[in-house]
Amino acid sequence: MFGIIACKKEEEKPILEEELAIVEEPEEILEFGFNLNDYVVKRDTIRKGDSFGVILERNKIGYPKIFHIAEKAKDTFDIRKLQLGKPYTLLCSKDSLETPRCFIYQPNLEEYVVINFQDSIHAYTSRKPIKYVEKTITGIITSSISETLDEQGVSPVLTNKLADEIYAWTIDFRRLQKGDRFKVIYTDKFIDDTIYTGIHNVKAAYFEHKDEPFYAFRYQTDTVKGIIDYFNEEAKNLRRAFLKSPIQFGRISSRYNLKRRIAYYGYALRPHKGTDFAAPVGTPIRATANGTVTESTRKGGNGKYVKIRHNATYETQYLHMSRQNVKKGQFVKQGDVIGYVGMTGNTGGPHVCYRFWVNGKQVDPFRQKLPEAKPISDSLKTKYLEYIKPIKNQLDNIYFSPEDLKQQPEQTIIRQANS
């Protein structure tokens, strides 16, 4: 008699959630409006001998199709304008052939040109998203403003903007004093969130020089022409008709002096009718005001020089250049580089001798009451004063000392700009 053997069915165990295979979709990598995960991405730069046709042929596209693509794209972008060293990207099919589907060219950091030929052929230009980040910084001068900002890791562009663009007419940055202090609201610019392109602009600044306060607020006075200037808290233009110095950084080595006597010449009277600014050979020399070049030549002890007539009243001259950068008859704007510091003519060291005429007579420019730039119009003055109220309040609430800084709430304002 056979016994009946019962086979007990093995109990099914519940599948734990953590034992399930989790398949995650790859995170999208978006650039130029495409998901790069969908393509084989090939990046390169335009090399010597490269053309649109050469690049595509090198990537297995024949000339009949290349010609057809170029013809379709020509109304948007001239493929002959590819520049040496500029980056381009090929989006290729994800198969063994890796056939190009799209060509993307970047003429600069912001713009890009897309020539898409994966379905129908079409081309267009676009820009990468731009982000502006507003920041604040303070500093107390111990030696120079450039060193003070450098210690805080701030771009030297900010030094140039403060010295050249904002306070060039009101503060002599070569003669800053220990203890002078400043605070600045400025904007950094980023492309695609990651590419830092530098300081975009300075919104407002406060500089305390020799215990005297100097406010500066950026304001657009003409939206049609895009004219922007800096004004103080009373709506007075910080700009003057003439810069204080023909060179950005340097020192005055000899002043205008009609009673000068020199030991080398037996203490004979040798009037000096210019102001010497010492600087290394090759330092750019700037026109101190708008005007027309009346002379750009070399003559005797003056060496190589440039002379500019600004109007019926004022003329300036810049001596001892290593070379000139302008020609006679050329119109120049304030701040344009007209030449470079040298040692031509009678000179004992590299410098520019800056000479200043008023009604045909050489004078000391630092003793003249020089004209101001065009003031803000009465119709805009009220709007301007309202506009700067919150900005001035923001500036006034930025503190200098570490103890005060602990009490100050961190303020970072981010603006997106997609164009």
**Does 236 share its domain with 136?**
yes
Among 127, 154, 186, identify where a domain stops.
127
DSSP-assigned letter for residue 249: S
99 occurs within a structural domain? yes
Q: What is the pLDDT of residues 318-355, one digit of tens each?
A: 999 999 999 999 999 888 999 999 999 988 889 999 99
Residue pLDDT, tens place only, 358-386: 989 999 888 887 777 777 888 899 999 99
Residue 142 sits in the same domain as residue 237: yes
CA 100 to CA 125: how far, in whole Å? 19
- Helix (H, G, I), strand (E, B), or coil: what is residue 231? strand
CB 232 within 8 A of CB 392: no
Tally of domains within the chain:
3
Residue at 11 is within a domain: no
In a domain, 139, yes or no: yes
| Same structural domain, 147 and 225 | yes
271 shares a domain with 298: yes
Q: What is the DSSP letter of 156?
A: H
- Examine the domain organization and report whether 278 and 352 are in the same domain: yes
Asked if residue 115 and residue 43 are part of one domain, the reply reads yes
149 with 237, same domain: the answer is yes
**Amino acid 402: pLDDT:** 56
pLDDT over 50 at 406, yes or no:
no
**Where in the sequence is the domain holding 59, given as residue range(s)?**
30-127
228 and 147 in one domain? yes
Average pLDDT over residues 195-203: 90
> 330-350: b or e for each residue (b if 16 or more CB lie within 10 Å)?
eebebbbebbbbbebbebeeb
Instruction: Examine the fold and report which residue of 109, 127, 145 is the final residue of a domain before the chain moves on.
Output: 127
If you search the block for the tokens 């046709």, which residue do you land on?
53
Q: Do 285 and 342 have their domain in common?
A: yes
pLDDT at 242: 87
What's 344's domain CATH number? 2.70.70.10
Contacts of 218 (CB under 8 A, 6+ apart): 201, 202, 203, 204, 228, 229, 230
Co-location of 389 and 330 in the same domain:
no
Mark whether 340 and 321 lie in a shared domain.
yes
Residue 216 is predicted with a pLDDT of 96
- Say if 251 falls within a structural domain: no
pLDDT at 173 over 50: yes
Residue 16: helix, strand or coil by DSSP? coil
Q: What is the pLDDT of residues 128-151, one digit of tens each?
A: 989 999 999 998 988 888 888 888
pLDDT 10s digits, 21-72: 555 667 888 899 999 999 999 999 999 999 999 999 999 899 899 999 999 8
Q: Could you tell me the CATH number of the domain that includes residue 84?
A: 3.10.450.350
What pTM was computed for the model? 0.63
CB atoms within 10 A of CB 295: 15
> According to the model, what pLDDT value does residue 401 have?
62
Contact between 285 and 340 (Cβ < 8 Å): yes
- Which residues in 64-77 are b (16+ Cβ under 10 Å) and which e? eebeebbeebeeeb
Buried-state track 98-127, b at ≥16 Cβ within 10 A, e below 16:
eebbbbbbbeeebebbbbbbeeeeebeeee
* Alpha helices by DSSP H, 86-232: 145-151, 156-160
Is 80 exceeded by the pLDDT of residue 268? no
What is the per-residue DSSP string for 20-69? SPP-PPPPP-EETTEEGGGSEEEEEEPPTT--HHHHHHHTT--HHHHHHH
* Residue 18 pLDDT greater than 80, yes or no: no
Q: How many helices (H) does the chain have, and how many strands (E)?
A: 6, 25
pLDDT value of residue 192: 82
Side-chain-side CA neighbours of 80 within 13 Å: the count stands at: 3
Is 23 a member of any domain?
no
Please report, for residues 272, 280, 296, 297, the alpha-carbon distance to residue 345 in angstroms, rounded to integers and kept in the order given: 15, 16, 14, 12
Query: How confident is the prediction for the chain on average, in pLDDT?
Result: 85
- Whether residue 371 is contained in a domain is answered as no
Place 107 in a pLDDT band, splitting at 50, 70 and 90.
Answer: very high
- Same domain for 110 and 182, yes or no, is no
Buried b (16+ CB within 10 A) or exposed e, 303-325: bbbbbbebeeebbbbbbbbbebb
Task: Say if 355 falls within a structural domain.
Answer: yes
Boundary (domain end) residue, out of 83, 107, 127: 127
Return the percentage of the chain with pLDDT > 70, whole number: 86
* Confidence check: pLDDT of 410 > 60: no
Q: DSSP for 326-348?
A: --TT-EE-TT-EEEEEB--SS-S
Confidence at residue 405, expressed as pLDDT on a 0 to 100 scale: 44
- Asked, for residue 51, whether it belongs to a domain, the answer is yes
